[in-house]
Structures are given as C-alpha cells and as structure tokens.
Amino acid sequence: MPVVGMVGGGQLARMTQQAAIALGVRLRVLAGDPEESAAQVCADVRLGSHTSLEDLMSFAEGCDVVTWDHEHVPGELIQALEAAGVVCRPGAAALLHAQDKLVMRERLSALGAPCPAYAAVHSTDDVTAFGEKHGWPVVLKATRGGYDGKGVWVVGSAAEAAEVIASGTALMAEEKVAFRRELAALVARSPHGQGAAYPVVETVQEDGICVEVVAPAEGLDPETAAFAQKLALGIAEELGVTGLLAVELFETADGVVVNELAMRPHNSGHWTTDGARTTQFEQHLRAVLDLPLGDTDGNAAWTVMGNLLGGEDPDIFERYEHVMAHDPGMKIHFYGKGVRPGRKIGHVNVSGDDLPRLRARAEHAALYLRDPGLVYPEEGK
Amino acid sequence: MPVVGMVGGGQLARMTQQAAIALGVRLRVLAGDPEESAAQVCADVRLGSHTSLEDLMSFAEGCDVVTWDHEHVPGELIQALEAAGVVCRPGAAALLHAQDKLVMRERLSALGAPCPAYAAVHSTDDVTAFGEKHGWPVVLKATRGGYDGKGVWVVGSAAEAAEVIASGTALMAEEKVAFRRELAALVARSPHGQGAAYPVVETVQEDGICVEVVAPAEGLDPETAAFAQKLALGIAEELGVTGLLAVELFETADGVVVNELAMRPHNSGHWTTDGARTTQFEQHLRAVLDLPLGDTDGNAAWTVMGNLLGGEDPDIFERYEHVMAHDPGMKIHFYGKGVRPGRKIGHVNVSGDDLPRLRARAEHAALYLRDPGLVYPEEGK
C-alpha cells in the first residue's frame, strides 16, 4: 500500500491519519516538534522544518506522494522537490494560487470567475485611488501568509491605510463586498481528472475565525449552489489542483464572489467527518493517490460543525466530561493541543433534521467548553 | 488528557486509534512486532510480550487505564497488574468469563441466562454420556484459546469424540443448538455503572468465520431484541464488565441462547464505524475511561458489514482501486495486514434503505477483493 507524506503536523494531518488508517495507507508527517497535533498520533513522524529543502528531500524519500497540511512551504522548495522527481500534490504551480492572493485574483479574473474589484497597492496614494474608484472602506490584504483574519485590515480612510502601508507588508486592496453570508464550496480533483463536489455550506465567522458551519447552506438557491460547485470544479481543473480545493465565497444579492482558496482539507469541511459518506480527509488521500473519489452525499438532512476555541481555563477535562454527558449524540474532535484563549482546539459535529436545535447543540458545546458561564449569559454568569 | 494502554497490536487496537484521535486520548499499544496492524498507526508503541509480566508492568507505567485487544493475556498476570495498582478494564475477574468457556457457562447458568446444555468432559465416555442425554451430534469446545471456529469440533459419534479427546485439550461438551440464525448483542458498561446497548445484529458465519453482519437484525421480534439487550446489560453488570461486552447469541424457535462472550470491540460491531452515531471503538474508550457513553443509534435504516478475507493473490491494489470505483459510497477499512488465503484483512460497510441491495454490494466487494473470478460464478470464472 502507498505511503503518503504530509508536510506539517497540525490538526489537518492528525485527522488525515484517521482516514489513512481505514484506507490502509501509510501516512508520514513532517513535524517541527513531537508534540504537534499529528505527531502525537502517527507512527512515522519525521522532525524537521518545512522551510528546509534538505529536510523536505529527506522526508520525501520513500513517499509515493507528498502533500501539505498548510500553505507555508515556499514555492521554490516545492519546485525543487518536483525537479528532483518527488510527486507533489498539489504541485507548486497550482499551490501558488493558494499562497499568493494577488496571483490568485489575477488568474481567477482571467478565467472569468466572479471576484471583488482588486488592485496591487504600494502606497497610501494607491489605496486612496482604489477607495475613490470602488468606495470606502477598502479591504487591505497581505498577499501572502494571512489566515484566520490575520493579514486582513479594513481601512476607512487614507490615514488608516497609511498605518498598514507603513508596516512594509506586500499588500493588495479589495472592494469590501456587501455579502449576505459566507459560503464554501469544497471539491476534490484527482490527477487523471476525476472531480467530486461536496454540498455547498455556510460558514459563520466571528472576528475573522470560523466558528460554525452549516451543511448544506440553509435555503441556498439550487442554481447558486450548482454554480458554486461548478465554479470550484472549474477552478480546480484550470489551476491543475490535485487533492482538495476549498473555495470560500461571499453570497451577495447577485450570486457568489470568490473570497479565498485553500488546497487542502479545510475547516469548512470538518462537518464531513461525521456528516458525509466520505470525509474530506479520506477524499484528499484518495485524490492525491489518484484513487477513485468517494461519495460526497450527506448522511443526514443537516450537519452543524462548531469550532471549539480555548478559554481562560486550560484544564478542560471536567467540561469535556460534562458536554459528553449532556449530549451523547454529539461527536467531539480534539486536536491534542494545549488550551489558549481563542485557539482552535477541536470541533464538534451534530447531525439530524432540526437545524435550529442542531445549531443550539453545537453552540452549547462550544461555549461550555470555553467557559460554562457563557452558556446562559442572560441568566447571569 | 488520559493515556489508555491497549495490550495487543491487532486490528481492534488499530481502529481504537481512530477513536482515540477524535477524543484527544493518547493510545499506547503493546505489540509483538512493529509491523503489527496497530503498531503501524500509533505514535506510542511498546514492543513486548503479553505473556511477560515484566513487559506488561513496564507497558502499564504511565497509563491511566489498561485494556485489551484480545483475550490472551493470562489471568494471573492481569491479577498481578491489578495487585500492583494498575487500573485494568475489564479486570481479571470479569475477563475470566471471556477466557474460559466452562467458567462462563457455569456463571451464566447460575445467573439464569439461557444457555445450551453443557458439561465438562474428560473422556470419550463423558462425551458419550452427554450425547445420550442431550442428543448427537455433540459440540466439543476447548475451554480456552479458541477463536474463529478454531477449538470447536462437532462430533457425531464416540469414535469421533475419541479423536478430539486424544489431543489432550481441556474440553467441554455442549448441546448442538438448532438455531435459525446467529445474533449478537453489543453493550458497554462503565465503572460507575452506566450502560448502553447497540441495536441487536445478525451475524452470518461461514466455516466458523464471520463473513457478514446486518444491523439491525432483519425482522427480529422487538421483544426478543429488547430481551437480548437487557440480557447483555445484565451480564455486564453481574460480571462487573468495564468496557464493551459482545454477547454472541443463537436465535431459536423459543428465543435466544448465549453462545460466546467477548469483552472488547468485536467483529459483530464493525458496522458501527460507519453505521452508528458512536463507533464501538469510541464507546470502548469512553467506557474504560469512565467517560459518559455515546449514543448507540444507527445512522441509517440498515448497515451491512462484509468481512474481507484474503485470497490466493496477495497483490490486491488493483482490486482495491476497482471496488472503490465500482461503489463510491462503500466504506473500506483495511487492517494493514499481509494477504493470506482466508485471513481477515479488512471489512466494508454500506448503509442505506434497501437491504438486499446493501447485502449484494458488501458481498460484491468481499468477493472481488478476494478474487474477481468469484463475483459471477455462474457466468464462468
């Protein structure tokens, strides 16, 4: 059976191990520390840095395919691996579009995919010109390295823009989209060209961090859902993505607009571990190995995923026991991470027919695990 | 988060690792070889023998609880671990009833559980006397160490019995039960006394090996199903089982009769990995850790589990790809084992509403993976 190497030891690699166990595939991870999330649960852990070509080359030896837990491996190192004959999925050429937001915008616009207005900006004057043309506030994004709301600034004036410009980060400006809600379209594409699309989901963000996913997105117009799935499959095909592609979308009055891309298992797909026939982690392994893709149907009418964020008290065991007793049908996924305020430490999934009840259950667990006092704020905490 | 030590590196420990990853529990396994099924997929693997007290003691150090992948750890070693303060779940006193069939029969009969007629036998004359009282053929069982049909002989005469007696194995005789079909009742019990019962399933055996499980058992009288669940919960309580208890049953014209007990995840519960809200592996971890037990409801009207047995050709990769393409909604579970004829190398689960179609799908996968020529035998292979 094949060996898949995953660069990065985070929770995505950790959950990929669950899928690898079922498929009989050997998963090797490159971690920076033996206590990283995935390193705790894999037999084949190599310690090293994802920014060292030497470590990457040594890691790749004996792997049938190498894939990624995150987007932070420099493109030139992936190119060097490919030049040395290492099978990288996705490859450097595709992954660049998940690493550089300006490259992504230019390519997607050329393909005719719906995008907000954007421009590279190098000065406060550039931002002002953009704001005068497309309206204020303007969204400034670091072209590289942002995640979970980091690397994004919403500026209302030239003075505010000047502060961000002063940081020296390479930036682009984007129109602030007037969206109703955020959606995500998750698809897989295999090297020989098979594609598979999951139901389009709604993602709920707070302070730039995803806190809840509803699968499928409630009340989504079937034509818009089909358009979003085809859009994601088309982007995967045009960019030559192998593995998963998550397309984060804004839903507007006129349809959908692409926000961001990720080429790996994605937070918006965590509902699949209990809510879909094939988990996104299994699908990613199948895709990068060019194995036939799995069925993307949901197992229930609705699945709600709630992210678990750490609170002030790091000793969560009693709260963990409490939520298990409180809701025996809820599925808990812990990442083996130390608890810090606001850190993603796990997620829960609940599936069934009654969506408001499912949302309440997921929210209860997320709040209770953070701080029991948050559960009934009106009644005094 | 707690550390669970599982003695034995087989597929049950392997699949327990999937559940441990989600729960955030650390799983340590004691394996005889780094290539054993579970040793391939765990970060914390200790090599040693389950019959060495020294190895067991060293393994147990740092574990919050020790549990078992199989019944082959000698009872006196488990007693020694317990005497040294190691938390063993299930403990030696309970586990004895899954290790010694004669002890089990005596205890269950004393509890009033429905059992076939039985007797210890030491000679051909003992078997003959048993056969004259309860009818021929007589089932002879090794009181210890049998599995998958091994250690069981159906003898039709004193002469046949004499051959088995001559082997010197400690034996018991049992009445050959005229059963309609075989069932299994899987329950969990936690140290503080919480119990949970899965739906009663039908198990289909060929040559003493389980080949298929239908969950729930088709057309089972609800009173009989409830009786079987209560029987299993009662046995777990009376025997002080902590963790899972699988009660294999014969369904007869008059109800059910207990066949065997197992105190661990069990082949009859493999359907739960895709077909139930809580997998048996997660439930076992929750139970041995005295965590609240999970919901045992099924996710679909029916789930069919088909065991994958090895065929003559050990190179299964092309067949593996074929069955994935043929049936994208089927869930495959491979154990990382080398392929040998008749060896259990994995299982598949299919869930849905159309039971005959589900059985056909599971059978197709099992036959195709063994030998594509078996799939359409009438059309010539």
A378 pLDDT above the threshold of 70: no
Chain B hits for A42, Cβ within 8 Å: 41, 43
CB distance B201 to B216 below 8 Å: yes
Which residue in chain B has the smallest CA separation from A296? B329
Closest CB to B293: pick one of A273, A328, A336: A328
A61 pLDDT above the threshold of 50: yes
Residue at B53: amino acid letter: L
- Say whether residue B293 is in contact with chain A using an 8 A CB cutoff: yes
Q: What is the pLDDT of residue B148?
A: 67
CA distance A67 to A183: 25
Closest CB to A26: pick one of B40, B277, B291: B40
Residue A17 buriedness (CB in 10 A; 0-12 / 13-18 / 19+): buried
Nearest C-alpha neighbor of B309 from the set B232, B379, B242, B362: B362
CA distance B148 to B175: 19
- Using CA atoms, how far residue A165 sits from A101, A169, A174, in Å, is 17, 7, 14
List, as one string, the DSSP characters of A56-123. Answer: HHHHHTT-SEEEESSS-S-HHHHHHHHHTT--BSS-HHHHHHHH-HHHHHHHHHHHT-----EEEE-S
Spatial neighbors of B114 by CB under 8 A, at least 6 apart, are B231, B255, B256, B257, B258
DSSP conformation class of B268: G
Cis peptide before A74, with omega less than 30 degrees from 0?
A: no
Spatial neighbors of A136 by CB under 8 A, at least 6 apart, are A155, A156, A157
- Say whether residue A349 is in contact with chain B using an 8 A CB cutoff: no
Whose structure tokens read 């088995």? B164
Q: What is the pLDDT of residue A377?
A: 57
Q: Which of B33, B37, B41 would best serve as a mutation to test chain A binding (most A beta carbons within 10 A)?
A: B41
- Using CA atoms, how far residue B354 sits from B210, B218, B348, in Å, is 22, 12, 17
Which CATH number among 3.40.720.10, 3.40.30.10, 3.30.1490.20, 3.40.50.880 corresponds to the domain A117-175?
3.30.1490.20
- Say whether residue A294 is in contact with chain B using an 8 A CB cutoff: yes
Q: Where are the alpha helices (DSSP H) in chain A?
A: 11-23, 53-60, 75-83, 92-99, 101-111, 124-134, 158-165, 222-239, 272-275, 280-288, 317-326, 355-370
**What size, in residues, is chain B?**
381
Closest CB to B332: pick one of A20, A22, A273: A22
CA distance A69 to A98: 13
Per-domain residue ranges for chain B? 3-88, 117-175, 181-379
B101 is in an annotated binding site: yes
Cα A283 versus chain centre, distance: 15
CB distance B267 to B210 below 8 Å: yes
Chain A hits for B332, Cβ within 8 Å: 22-24
Answer yes or no: do B26 and A43 touch at CB < 8 A. no
Give residue-wise pLDDT tens across range A139-150.
999 999 876 668
**What size, in residues, is chain A?**
381
CA distance A222 to A226: 6
Answer yes or no: do B41 and A42 touch at CB < 8 A. yes
B381 is in an annotated binding site: no
Chain A hits for B1, Cβ within 8 Å: 317, 334, 336
Answer yes or no: do B21 and A20 touch at CB < 8 A. no
List, as one string, the DSSP characters of A344-361. Answer: EEEEEEEEES-HHHHHHH
CA distance B142 to B6: 26
CA distance A314 to B22: 19
Token pair of B96 as six digits: 């004895």
Nearest C-alpha neighbor of B60 from the set B80, B35, B33, B37: B80
Dihedral over Cα of B120, B123, B124, B129: its sign = negative
Closest CB to A277: pick one of B17, B20, B329: B329
Whose structure tokens read 């707690």? B2
Chain B hits for A300, Cβ within 8 Å: 299
- Say whether residue B300 is in contact with chain A using an 8 A CB cutoff: yes
What whole-number percentage of chain A has pLDDT above 70? 98
Nearest C-alpha neighbor of A336 from the set B15, B23, B279: B23
Q: What is the pLDDT of residue B381?
A: 37
Closest CB to A321: pick one of B292, B300, B329: B292
Q: What is the pLDDT along chain B (381 residues), one digit of tens a residue?
A: 999 999 999 999 999 999 999 999 999 999 999 999 999 999 999 999 999 999 999 999 999 999 999 999 999 999 999 999 999 999 999 999 999 999 999 999 999 999 999 999 999 999 999 999 999 999 999 999 876 668 899 999 999 999 999 988 999 999 999 999 999 999 999 999 999 999 999 999 988 889 999 999 999 999 999 999 999 999 999 999 999 999 999 999 999 999 999 999 999 999 999 999 999 999 999 999 999 999 999 999 999 999 999 999 999 999 999 999 999 999 999 999 999 999 999 999 999 999 999 999 999 999 999 999 898 755 443
- Say whether residue A127 is in contact with chain B using an 8 A CB cutoff: no
Q: What is the pLDDT of residue B378?
A: 52
Chain B hits for A292, Cβ within 8 Å: 321, 324-325, 328
CB distance A263 to A269 below 8 Å: no
Answer yes or no: do B346 and A299 touch at CB < 8 A. no
Q: What is the pLDDT of residue A103?
A: 97
Minimal C-alpha gap between A187 and chain B (Å): 15
Give residue-wise pLDDT tens across range A151-196.
899 999 999 999 999 988 999 999 999 999 999 999 999 999 999 9
Chain A hits for B324, Cβ within 8 Å: 286, 291-292, 294
Give the CATH number of domain B181-379. Answer: 3.30.470.20
Which residue in chain A has the smallest CA separation from B291? A321
Residues 36-55 of A with CB under 8 A from B: 39-43, 45
Spatial neighbors of A318 by CB under 8 A, at least 6 apart, are none
Answer yes or no: do B20 and A41 touch at CB < 8 A. yes
Minimal C-alpha gap between B120 and chain A (Å): 42
Cis peptide before A90, with omega less than 30 degrees from 0?
A: yes
Nearest C-alpha neighbor of A271 from the set A335, A153, A173, A351: A351
| pLDDT, averaged across chain A | 95
Vertex B100 angle, CA B94 and B105, to 5°: 85
Please, what's the b/e burial string for B57-73 (b: 16 or more CB within 10 A of its CB; e: otherwise)? eebbeebebbbbbbbeb
Token pair of B178 as six digits: 């005229």
Beta strand A65-68 pairing with A3-7: parallel
A328 pLDDT above the threshold of 60: yes
- Say whether residue B286 is in contact with chain A using an 8 A CB cutoff: yes
Minimal C-alpha gap between B290 and chain A (Å): 9
| Mean per-residue pLDDT, A212-228 | 98
- Say whether residue A70 is in contact with chain B using an 8 A CB cutoff: no
Give residue-wise pLDDT tens across range A335-372.
999 999 999 999 999 999 999 999 999 999 999 999 99
Main-chain phi, psi angles of A82, to 5 degrees: -65, -40
CA distance B312 to B314: 6
Answer yes or no: do B334 and A41 touch at CB < 8 A. no
Q: What is the pLDDT of residue B379?
A: 46
Cis peptide before B216, with omega less than 30 degrees from 0?
A: yes
Which residue in chain B has the smallest CA separation from A283? B328
Minimal C-alpha gap between A81 and chain B (Å): 26
Chain A hits for B31, Cβ within 8 Å: none
Strands, E, within chain B: which ranges? Answer: 3-7, 26-31, 44-47, 65-68, 118-121, 138-142, 152-155, 171-175, 181-189, 195-197, 201-206, 209-215, 243-252, 255-262, 302-309, 331-334, 344-352
Minimal C-alpha gap between A353 and chain B (Å): 12
Closest CB to A293: pick one of B21, B273, B328: B328
* Residue A214, CA atoms < 13 Å, CB-side half-sphere: 20
Query: Does the domain at residues A3-88 carry the CATH identifier 3.40.50.10860?
Result: no
Minimal C-alpha gap between B215 and chain A (Å): 17
Minimal C-alpha gap between B296 and chain A (Å): 8
- Say whether residue A15 is in contact with chain B using an 8 A CB cutoff: yes
Check residues A294 and A1 and name the one with the higher pLDDT: A294
Token pair of B350 as six digits: 């299919």
CA distance B46 to B52: 13
| Start-to-end C-alpha separation, chain B | 54
Chain B hits for A34, Cβ within 8 Å: 43
Which residue in chain A has the smallest CA separation from B337? A24
DSSP conformation class of A39: G
- Say whether residue A17 is in contact with chain B using an 8 A CB cutoff: yes
The annotation places the binding site of A for ATP at 101, 141, 174-177, 182, 259-260
The 3-class secondary structure across B100-145, one letter per residue, is: CHHHHHHHHHHCCCCCCCEEEECCHHHHHHHHHHHCCCEEEEECCC
List, as one string, the DSSP characters of B199-218. Answer: PPEEEEEETTEEEEEEESPT
Answer yes or no: do A22 and B24 touch at CB < 8 A. no
Give residue-wise pLDDT tens across range A11-26.
999 999 999 999 999 9
A249 pLDDT above the threshold of 50: yes
Answer yes or no: do B291 and A324 touch at CB < 8 A. yes
CA distance B55 to A202: 52
Give residue-wise pLDDT tens across range A64-111.
999 999 999 999 999 999 999 999 999 999 999 999 999 999 999 999
How many other C-beta atoms lie within 10 A of the C-beta of residue B184?
26
Chain B hits for A289, Cβ within 8 Å: none
ipTM: 0.96
A to B CB pairs, distance under 8 Å = 105
- Using CA atoms, how far residue A111 sits from A236, B96, B185, in Å, is 12, 68, 57
